[in-house]
A and B are shown apart, each in its own frame.
Chain A
Amino acid sequence: EADIYQTPRYLVIGTGKKITLECSQTMGHDKMYWYQQDPGMELHLIHYSYGVNSTEKGDLSSESTVSRIRTEHFPLTLESARPSHTSQYLCASSESAGGKLFFGSGTQLSVL
């Protein structure tokens, strides 16, 4: 069982609100990732980090930002949420770059 946790599990908020999605892992992995999953299932990489103070944008452009101040923590922030941000957000970590990923249960975000 993977030791990677995401909170909240579900979030419904109004347009313009600032939100932070939390992701923590207890496996000591340097590599962490955020994926956005469309309603039609497809996964898109939006952010990744290869270690503390390292963050990179992924393949899909996103208005969100991330930070990596501690190895175990990789939060994602939306400064001003919009309905187009409604999606499922999946956090993952791996021991090595391009290796086996461990996923959290995801955060289902709905912006009204």
Chain B
Amino acid sequence: AQSVAQPEDQVNVAEGNPLTVKCTYSVSGNPYLFWYVQYPNRGLQFLLKYITGDNLVKGSYGFEAEFNKSQTSFHLKKPSALVSDSALYFCAVRDGTGTASKLTFGTGTRLQVTL
């Protein structure tokens, strides 16, 4: 089975500083990777995905993610953090093939951006 790991439970960043939320993956074959964000008392919202092509994927709200095959990583990044970016972030991987595939999520990382 495919899986992703988020090694940090929480990341703390000052507003205006760059942020990185880490994700590593374990897959057989080509990985389909996703990032989602969850704001308080809300469902998850799609940020971006990597299927193939450019290793730098741009997504919503100024976020981007870098796919690194040699390090099996898919870290989420933003050049300048905002207090409003404070939320839970989930990395996910497509597990299975064809019509039997579904998404498997990491354990989540809480991002706290302070003034």
Contacts and interface: CB of A to CB of B under 8 A. Distances in A.
Interface of A: 2, 4, 6, 33, 35, 40-43, 45, 48, 50, 58-59, 90, 92, 97-106
Contacts, number: 62
B93 to A, nearest CB: 9
A43 B90 contact: yes
Interface in B63-115: 88, 90, 94-96, 98-105, 107-108, 110
Interface of B: 32, 34, 36, 41-46, 49, 88, 90, 94-96, 98-105, 107-108, 110
19 contacts: A2-B45, A6-B43, A35-B105, A40-B107, A43-B44, A58-B102, A97-B100, A97-B101, A97-B102, A98-B32, A98-B95, A99-B94, A100-B46, A101-B36, A101-B44, A103-B44, A103-B45, A105-B42, A105-B43
Contacts of B88: 41
Given A97-B98, A97-B101, A98-B32, 5 more contacts: A43-B44, A43-B108, A45-B103, A50-B99, A97-B102
Contacts of A4: 43
Contacts of A99: 94
The interface residues of chain B, by DSSP majority, are classed as strand
Contacts of B99: 50, 97
A92 to B, nearest CB: 8
A88 B61 CA distance: 26
B101 A43 contact: no
Nearest to B108: A41
A101 B100 contact: no
Contact of B42 (A35, A42, A106): A106
A88 B46 CA distance: 19
B43 A43 contact: no
A41 B46 contact: no
A27 to B, nearest CB: 13
